[in-house]
Amino acid sequence: MTSDFLVVGAGVAGLRAAIELAKAGRVLVVAKDSLRESSSEYAQGGIAAAVGEGDAVALHEQDTLAAGDGLCDTEAVQTLVREGPVAIQELIEWGAEFDREGARLALGREGAHSRRRILHAHGDSTGREIARALHRKAASLANVELRSFAAVTDLLLAEDGSVAGVAVCDGSTHSHAQLRARGVLLATGGMGRVYAHSTNPEVATGDGVAAAWRAGAALSDLEFVQFHPTVLAVEGAGGFLLSEALRGEGAWLRGADGERFMTRYHEMAELAPRDVVSRAIVTEMERTGAEHVWLDLRRLEADFVRRRFPRIYETCLKHGVDLTKDPAPVRPAAHYAMGGVHTDLHGRTSLPRLYAAGEVAAAGVHGANRLASNSLLEGLVFGARAGRAMRELAGAPAAPPAPPAEPLFPELSEEELRALSWRHCGIVRSGEGLAEVCRRLEATPLRPNAKPNRAMFELRSLHTLAWLIARCALARRESRGAHFRTDCPESRPEFQKHSLIQKGHEVTFF
């Protein structure tokens, strides 16, 4: 099947790019699972933009740079905060309904933001509302076709090394197909499922990054994985997120002994950057031997909690926690990949005809630690930019792909892999543990399979990603942002650089 442009992923970045691309040709948008199953759907807290009274793009820039711990690309951040308010206005014109106080947009607060600047929708279903509006807009365009259940397994390369399409596997029928196009945009989202504990949906297995790696694309900053501090720690809750917006409205963290502890760790207490809060929680759990800490909302008015956080309130209630009366057991979980396929500010990667936007991409916006609620904004702003840039391929002939290499699958269990990543590539790391992950994964036997299914391809992606994270984290002999090593606990000026890894090469820094 051939289209002009292929967008892999139907979350915010992919849909926003497709809307731009539709102006220049036929666009096929493929979703790995059902069309609505993406990380965007689960984003609760909101989308940050300097639209409030007393706020300014310069302040949003300052907060983003501070959270990024010396590693943000300033031009990328300026692009994000400058184009953000325009992107949101456009979204409102396309039908997105953000919560309001009277006629004004209601603005929440989250960690490391110096101002109230978080727009939200239906209280705590912001990603779902943005994806709904983009989906409706994209589906209304004659040039856009949306297809579900097509998981990318490999990039198809032409003889000249340019990207000619993708191979996909249908997760329901296990059938395989090749989709060809003049250009491919990866918008496949994150890789949180590399870890035993994650806020990400099951589809977040890093397939886009792994496929780009196998095709020879440059990847950057993979060692930086953000751990969200507060996931509901109840059996069967499946990594359900308790949004940072709860702390933004005044919820406190308490240890096993009931004591409020964040005031001992950071001047911003519960609103410190996420890496600081996650590490503090781990320290408290280790200190007391408890499996979780507590998130306490009882100082907030019950009606306010139910109205402002309806989805969170109802979900907690289903799991036996009434947030208006009981503190919720919480612990950190893998949440967001700051690194990914290295791109310029227009989504161009190191491979001709391959573009990337959203969580799969690394344009340098987030540095070593993403500021809360900047991810939906990144998807919107850089999705649109990548879509516009990719129109440069409008007149180019599609190149025929060379036959792809036979896939090889690792022989280890998903549980084993996730436990290994959690133990050694998690919130607190060490050189020894990271080297152990590399050794273990390099020694894993790889075998072909006559009837590969989606789960096997996902395990292959997770295996590749775990190794890449460990490899990059081992090379970064310092601690910075979300990457903390007990054997080198300080930041070092010689590492105030992005990491870069490419198949067949050692990790370098630039």
Write out the catalytic residue numbers. Answer: 274
Degrees to nearest 5, angle at CA 197 with 371 and 497: 40
Task: State yes or no: residue 373 binds ligand SIN (CB under 6 A).
Answer: yes
CB of 337 to ligand SIN, least distance (A): 12
CB of 40 to ligand SIN, least distance (A): 11
Task: State yes or no: residue 64 binds ligand SIN (CB under 6 A).
Answer: no
Task: State yes or no: residue 245 binds ligand SIN (CB under 6 A).
Answer: yes
Q: Which one, of 427, 383, 385, 482, lies nearest residue 47 by Cα?
A: 383
Return d(Cα 370, Cα 378) in angstroms, integer.
11
Task: State yes or no: residue 218 binds ligand SIN (CB under 6 A).
Answer: no
3-state helix/strand/coil string of 156-196: EEECCCCEEEEEEECCCCCCEEEEEEEEEEECCCCCHHHCC
Q: Which residues pair with 253 in a beta bridge?
A: 295
Q: Helix 12-21 crosses helix 375-390 at what angle (to 10 degrees)?
A: 30
CB of 343 to ligand SIN, least distance (A): 20
Our CB check for ligand SIN shows the closer of 241 and 393 to be: 241
CB of 379 to ligand SIN, least distance (A): 11
State residue 336 phi and psi, 5-degree precision: -155, 140
Our CB check for ligand SIN shows the closer of 6 and 246 to be: 246
Mask of contacts with ligand SIN, 311-350, x by CB under 6 A?
-------------------------x--------------
- 38, 40, 44, 499: which one contacts ligand SIN (CB under 6 A)? 44
CB of 175 to ligand SIN, least distance (A): 35
Q: Which one, of 246, 219, 218, lies nearest residue 232 by Cα?
A: 246
Our CB check for ligand SIN shows the closer of 134 and 152 to be: 134
Looking up tokens 């040039």 gives 143
- 17, 24, 168, 372: which one contacts ligand SIN (CB under 6 A)? 372
Q: Where are the alpha helices (DSSP H) in 94-231?
A: 126-139, 207-215
Task: State yes or no: residue 358 binds ligand SIN (CB under 6 A).
Answer: no
Judged by CB under 6 A, how many residues of this single chain contact ligand SIN? 11
Q: Strand, helix or coil at 297?
A: coil
Tokens of 257: 């002994």
Stretch that binds ligand SIN, among 42-50, 201-209, 429-437, 490-498 (CB under 6 A): 42-50
Task: State yes or no: residue 198 binds ligand SIN (CB under 6 A).
Answer: no
CB of 370 to ligand SIN, least distance (A): 7
Our CB check for ligand SIN shows the closer of 373 and 464 to be: 373
By Cβ distance, which residue is nearest to ligand SIN? 45
- 14, 25, 45, 379: which one contacts ligand SIN (CB under 6 A)? 45
Looking up tokens 């997105």 gives 96
Return d(Cα 502, Cα 492) in angstroms, integer.
24
Our CB check for ligand SIN shows the closer of 83 and 110 to be: 110
Our CB check for ligand SIN shows the closer of 279 and 424 to be: 279
Our CB check for ligand SIN shows the closer of 248 and 255 to be: 248
Task: State yes or no: residue 375 binds ligand SIN (CB under 6 A).
Answer: yes
Stretch that binds ligand SIN, among 41-49, 175-183, 320-328, 426-434 (CB under 6 A): 41-49
Stretch that binds ligand SIN, among 69-77, 145-153, 236-244, 361-369 (CB under 6 A): 236-244
Q: List all residues 6 or more positions away from 65 whose beta carbon is below 8 Å from its beta carbon.
A: 72, 74, 77, 367
DSSP result, 37-51 = -SHHHH--S-EE-S-
Stretch that binds ligand SIN, among 38-46, 87-95, 324-332, 404-412 (CB under 6 A): 38-46
CB of 312 to ligand SIN, least distance (A): 9
CB atoms within 10 A of CB 277: 27
Tokens of 83: 């184009």
Q: Which one, of 279, 229, 299, 288, lies nearest residue 255 by Cα?
A: 288
Q: 427 with 369: CB under 8 angstroms?
A: no
Degrees to nearest 5, angle at CA 275 with 322 and 310: 25
Q: 351 with 162: CB under 8 angstroms?
A: yes
DSSP result, 381-428 = HHHHHHHHHHGGGTTSPPPPBPPPPPP-EE-S-HHHHHHHHHHHSSSS
Return d(Cα 220, Cα 209) in angstroms, integer.
10
Stretch that binds ligand SIN, among 78-86, 151-159, 241-249, 263-271 (CB under 6 A): 241-249
Our CB check for ligand SIN shows the closer of 30 and 121 to be: 121
Stretch that binds ligand SIN, among 237-245, 324-332, 378-386, 405-413 (CB under 6 A): 237-245
- 33, 55, 154, 244: which one contacts ligand SIN (CB under 6 A)? 244
CB of 369 to ligand SIN, least distance (A): 11
Tokens of 166: 């993708």
Our CB check for ligand SIN shows the closer of 180 and 228 to be: 228
Q: 84 with 377: CB under 8 angstroms?
A: yes
Our CB check for ligand SIN shows the closer of 336 and 484 to be: 336
Q: Which residues pair with 100 in a beta bridge?
A: 105
Binding site for ligand SIN (CB under 6 A): 43-45, 241, 243-245, 336, 372-373, 375
